[in-house]
Amino acid sequence: MARTIFPNFLFSAKINKLHFMVPIFFAVLISTIFAQFVLLAEPFRDSTALFDGIGEFFMALNILIITLMSITSLFIFFRIFKKRREFALRILVAAFILGGVLSTLLFGKLVFNLLGLDSPLLLLVVAIVAYIGAYFAYLVMVDALSDRIKNLLFVICSGALGSFLGVLMPAVPVVGISLFLSVLDSVLIKRKTVESIVGEETYEKLVTDVAFANQEWGIGIGDLTCYAMVVSNTLVNFGIFAGGLSLLLILVGSFLSLVFTIRMVRLPGLPIPVALGLLPSITLLFFL
């Protein structure tokens, strides 16, 4: 998370802290709702693995595919970013929105199954949602999407995509990946790696384009997605109470990060909220 360094927009102690917490709360809440759909559609028996009976090979294959796709996408993104920065950022945002829409469709199918609506109506809903997602992605590519709509889409897509990743993977990989991303986030912010590559002015634009942002502060879509992933994974593996506690701890960690950010220009958005949000999972995995 970050505040702008422009003198007209200072991130001060007078900031409305409730407004800062709203996007985090709703992104995580969306992921919790989607994860609950999974629990209702695929109730646990004697296993904490979501896809009980499919096997560990399926889990490992999914993680490998996600990892390879992420590495490949990042490589392609940075290749484009070096030559056409604004175009690369638009591609990133459009791909994120489409990923969130696809995740929403997958969870929507669970809702139809729960309601017993196995009919052509599902295809109509899929077509409408897919069209809406494609339309918003097009608006991003032509730079015609308003900031308000973009922020709303960031919250919804972060919750949906984070929930999908949290549901797809077992608890141990999610804990490891979240901790790794937190350390990486800290290193990148402390060493100002991105700023040294793209420059301070371009970095400010990057923060605005790929974050839930207003004139005073911004919360990265990566941060929101990671929060959603942690909570949804905790919920599907350890139940609603553990998931609710994880949600609460992430909100507490986000508030603490905000307090520290008030005194600084930038602060890694992952370490404090993720460390607190993972406490229920780590405790239940390794100590109970």
Q: Say if 75 falls within a structural domain.
A: yes
Where is average pLDDT lowest: 19-28, 37-46, 177-186, 240-249?
37-46
- Comparing 54 with 69, the larger pLDDT belongs to 69
* 205 CB-near residues (< 8 Å, 6+ apart): 89
pLDDT band at 233 (very low <50, low <70, confident <90, very high): very high
Provide the domain limits for residue 231. 14-41+50-286
Where is average pLDDT lowest: 135-139, 154-158, 241-245, 284-288?
284-288
Structural contact between residues 244 and 225, judged by C-beta atoms closer than 8 angstroms: no
Q: Say if 6 falls within a structural domain.
A: no
Which helix (H) or strand (E) element contains residue 89?
helix 85-115
Q: Say if 5 falls within a structural domain.
A: no
Q: Say if 111 falls within a structural domain.
A: yes
**Mean pLDDT, range 230-235, rounded to an integer:** 94
Q: Say if 2 falls within a structural domain.
A: no
Residue 100 CA: distances (Å) to CA of 3, 30, 55, 116: 26, 12, 26, 24
- Looking at residue 208, what is its pLDDT? 73
pLDDT band at 249 (very low <50, low <70, confident <90, very high): very high
Residue 186 CA: distances (Å) to CA of 46, 92, 278: 38, 22, 17
Q: Say if 3 falls within a structural domain.
A: no
**Mean pLDDT, range 228-245, rounded to an integer:** 93
- Looking at residue 58, what is its pLDDT? 61
The per-residue pLDDT of the chain, averaged, comes to 79
* 206 CB-near residues (< 8 Å, 6+ apart): 89, 194, 198
Q: What are the tens digits of pLDDT across the range 67-86? A: 777 777 777 777 777 777 77
pLDDT band at 286 (very low <50, low <70, confident <90, very high): confident
Region of 119 (left: φ > 0; alpha: ψ -120 to 50; beta: rest) is: beta
Half-sphere exposure for 31 (CA within 13 Å, toward CB): 36
pLDDT at 185 exceeding the cut of 60: yes
Query: How many domains is the chain partitioned into structurally?
Result: 1
Q: Say if 158 falls within a structural domain.
A: yes
* 58 CB-near residues (< 8 Å, 6+ apart): 51
Q: What are the tens digits of pLDDT across the range 114-144? A: 766 666 777 777 888 888 989 999 998 888 8
Q: Say if 253 falls within a structural domain.
A: yes
Which helix (H) or strand (E) element contains residue 213?
strand 211-213
